[in-house]
Amino acid sequence: MWLTERSPQRLVTGLLICLLLLSLGLRLYRIEAQSLWNDEGTAVALARRDLAAITRAAANDIHPPLYYYLLHYWMAVFGNSELAVRALSAWLGTLVVLLTFLWARTVAGSFASPHTGNSVGLAAAFFAALSPFQIYYSQETRMYILTTLLGALSMYAFVHLLSRWQAIPAGADTLGSAVERYLPPAAYLLASILLLYSHYFAVTILVAQNVAWLWWPKKRRLPFALGWVALQMVLVAAYLPWLLLAQRQLRMWPAISGPLQLTTLLFDVLRIFSLGLSADALPDLVLAGFAMLLILGMLKLCSASGHQAQTHSSQSSRSTPCVTSLLYLFVPIGAIYTLSLQRPMYNPKFLLLSTPPFHLFLAQGALSVWDKLGSARKSRGTQTRHYLAWLRFVAISSLHTVHAYYFDPRYARDDYRGIAGYIRAVERQSDAVLINAPGQIETFTYYYSGDLSLYPLPRQRPLDEAQTEADLREMIAGRERVFAVLWATDESDPGRFVEGWLDQNTYKATDSWYGNVRLVVYGVPSQTTEVGIDHRLDINLGNKVRLLGYNLLTPEMRPGDILQLTLFWQAIAPMNERYKVFTHVVDAHGHLVGQRDAEPGGGAKITTIWEEGEQVADNYGLPILPATPPGDYLIEIGMYSLEDGDRLRVIEGDQTVADHITLQPVRVLPALAPPPLSVLGMREQLSTRFGGVTLLGYDSSKLGHQHEPDAPLHAGDIVHLTLFWQANRQPIEGMEVTLRLKDEKGSIWLERSVQPTEGQYPADKWGVQEIIRDQHNLVLPADLPSGRYRIDLSVRPLPSGQPTGPLLVLTTLAIK
């Protein structure tokens, strides 16, 4: 082993302290980077109440109250900031690493020398410190890491209790001194009672202990049998009052997953225990290394404990810690599989409590490689290199997925902070906020401090349609916009009544995901609408659909307003394919300033259910982008296939004449106030002055891939560049912007000089502090070689003059 009999205890202690500091650092790093999600916000809101209220609320929930009690007192001392409420879990997670060390040292040391136990314990603590799965839940304001800690503590006390009883010789008429008699069982009882009050699934730890007890050879001795039964009766008596209080909720616990295959479950457990919830950041092949270590560790422990048992008169006593470890790992997994046969309930977080034995087996597997090399008479240096190679493998794999969790938005929690921040930035007094699952309101108001009216709807489950419709009408009365925060709609509104009503009676403008939460913005009709068609048309799209006409309620708008458009369709042939409708507001150069692409009826009237001859009224809200220059714009609409993106062509007679329909012009008026910078969508924020104007920032992407800023670029592609200007004074002179594409040697491959907004809204008309969105399309030359390029920007006043301000390098491009 890498620790020898001559290794001083202070070395072990020093290494353990380093691991605990590493563990705490990883659990505190970027702990505030992600928003609290709904369950965390609910936990914080619940912990703010008094203990009696917490108890009542927890009894009506699906979690026992211990964590909320602990968080209640923690918040009383440290406050309720994101850092404060999550730091409790970070500290608990660090203690889990300590308990993992103690557990692994105890199990490995039960059949080997103390320095072997220390070696296994330190390796297990190292793996636990880097565990992506544990780090994730050590940064969450929930009870799962507390349950893991108390489970490890209960198991540790259980093994020490058996060890104490094992040391009592046969025929002894006493169990030792008072301390020896009462301290081990008291410690076990305390840890186990707390464990039961942390999470309902924690009972699987006690099941594992009772099965391990049946393996223990001295169970037949009457004092021990009576003692164990008495301990279990105390646990039942301590937990029974809560079970009686919460039995109704336990019976109603809903299914939360699909049916499970055992092999699928085992593979998913291996994947998440090894690499965490961001495991798909690495290929599954990496799991083979973890599986090998796990199997080697289990085989090593079982064979070593079996060998020790054969050399002692009490055959199974030496193997009890190994059997207990196996049960500690597999009983919770087996329980969740068995329970899911009737009511699917698999969620990886329920199994977090089984990670300490997993890290024990990984550590034993890594050290067994050392032993096998030693038995093969390899040099100590060779042993060390192989052992360190396995440590590096686990460390690099773990830290890779931890990095993905820290920085990759795919693995971020639901972003209520972002939702509240957006609403706060763009809200007006005439807006309202709808919260579809009433429990969300506690999480939303943790971040939102504005003055808008909040409507938690529907009020009850199951939904009362008449009452909910009356509430919705009351909500939109006199409103301009509604921000709908939608989460778990399958539970709160499985029939989609609320969304369906809003789709029919308002104009959906945006539908954005913030993790698993949606923010949907609706424009409320600015006037009473009639069923009839104001602007009649008869336009054939692909011999499949006819546009009968449209209604436009908002021919004039300001930036940030919602254009309200109703299209009237009619199927003229069977619709066997799903189509999306595109609605665009464009300037004279084709630049988008408003857009909404969606299936008809907000997804409720998909084209495959249309009957031939059926007329469909279809509402669209098009948000006019903030900082859009004032002027006249056109509305373009059409349809495209959901499968391949091909547009339906406009047919006149036998001729195909276009792939879109142009409706009437609309006018955008000047903004009443500059928009917040946070809503402009700038990829990079700047503050570079050019005479009387400031370049606030820019956004760039491949044309048509605005939501994929890193989409690969090739020769012949179009780069869409948006500049954001702000006037510092008035009047200012006219100006011309020059954009140049240069290679690494400084050679110019593309040059474009033009007034901002293509001259549609000249700079000499800008108001003081007015912010202007300035869009450019740069067509990359067809013969552009692959490589790295940069876009330079310069500004010169008009009608003539020298460039003013710096020559600015805006961005770099990688051409494939």
> Using one digit for the tens of pLDDT, what is the confidence trace for 399-414?
999 999 999 999 999 9
pLDDT of residue 313: 47
CA distance 448 to 485: 12
pLDDT of residue 171: 57
CA pseudo-torsion sign 537, 538, 541, 546: positive
Per-residue pLDDT tens over the stretch 104-125: 999 988 776 777 788 899 999 9
pLDDT of 587 over the 90 cut:
yes
pLDDT of residue 369: 66
Q: What is the β-pairing status of strands 517-523 and 481-486?
A: antiparallel
pLDDT of residue 501: 94
Per-residue pLDDT tens over the stretch 173-229: 555 565 667 888 999 999 999 999 999 999 999 999 999 988 876 666 677 788 889
CA distance 715 to 140: 46
Q: Which of 178-187, 495-504, 627-636 has the highest mean pLDDT?
A: 627-636
pLDDT of residue 245: 82
Nearest in space to 594 (alpha carbons), one of 663, 499, 676, 684 = 663
pLDDT of 34 over the 80 cut:
yes
Mean pLDDT of the chain: 89
pLDDT of residue 114: 73
Share above pLDDT 70 across residues of the chain, in percent, rounded to a whole number:
91
- 758: its two tokens: 């293509």
pLDDT of residue 1: 47
pLDDT of 51 over the 90 cut:
yes
- 74: its two tokens: 């923690």
CA distance 345 to 256: 5
CA distance 684 to 468: 43
Per-residue pLDDT tens over the stretch 644-680: 999 999 998 888 889 999 999 999 999 999 999 999 9
Q: How confident is residue 371, by pLDDT bands cut at 50, 70 and 90?
A: low
pLDDT of residue 175: 54
Q: How confident is residue 367, by pLDDT bands cut at 50, 70 and 90?
A: confident
Residues contacting 5, CB < 8 A, separation 6+: 113, 115
Average pLDDT over residues 579-593: 95
Q: What is the β-pairing status of strands 655-658 and 650-652?
A: antiparallel
Q: How confident is residue 469, by pLDDT bands cut at 50, 70 and 90?
A: very high
Per-residue pLDDT tens over the stretch 718-730: 999 999 999 998 8
The residue behind tokens 């919770």 is: 332
pLDDT of 306 over the 80 cut:
no
- 186: its two tokens: 């008291």
- 224: its two tokens: 């021990």
Q: How confident is residue 162, by pLDDT bands cut at 50, 70 and 90?
A: confident
Q: In Å, what is the CA distance from 785 to each residue of 381, 719, 750, 815, 816?
A: 51, 16, 13, 7, 8
Q: Residue 515, CB half-sphere, CA atoms under 13 Å: how many?
A: 19
pLDDT of residue 461: 79
pLDDT of 422 over the 90 cut:
yes
pLDDT of 251 over the 80 cut:
no
Average pLDDT over residues 711-719: 93
Average pLDDT over residues 261-281: 94
Q: What is the β-pairing status of strands 661-668 and 556-557?
A: parallel
Residue 414, classed as helix, strand or coil, is coil
Domains of the chain: 19-41+87-410 (no CATH), 416-523 (3.40.190), 535-668 (2.60.40.770), 680-815 (2.70.50.60)
CA distance 148 to 154: 10
Are the C-beta atoms of 276 and 135 separated by less than 8 Å? Answer: yes
Are the C-beta atoms of 719 and 777 separated by less than 8 Å? Answer: yes
Least confident segment among 304-313, 439-448, 545-554, 595-604: 304-313
pLDDT of residue 670: 95
CA distance 589 to 230: 84
Average pLDDT over residues 727-738: 87
Residue type, 283: P
pLDDT of 233 over the 80 cut:
yes
Cβ atoms within 10 Å of 631's Cβ, excluding its own? 16
Q: What is the β-pairing status of strands 661-668 and 535-541?
A: unpaired
- 605: its two tokens: 């009237």
Bigger pLDDT: 752 or 1?
Answer: 752
The residue behind tokens 């409507």 is: 455
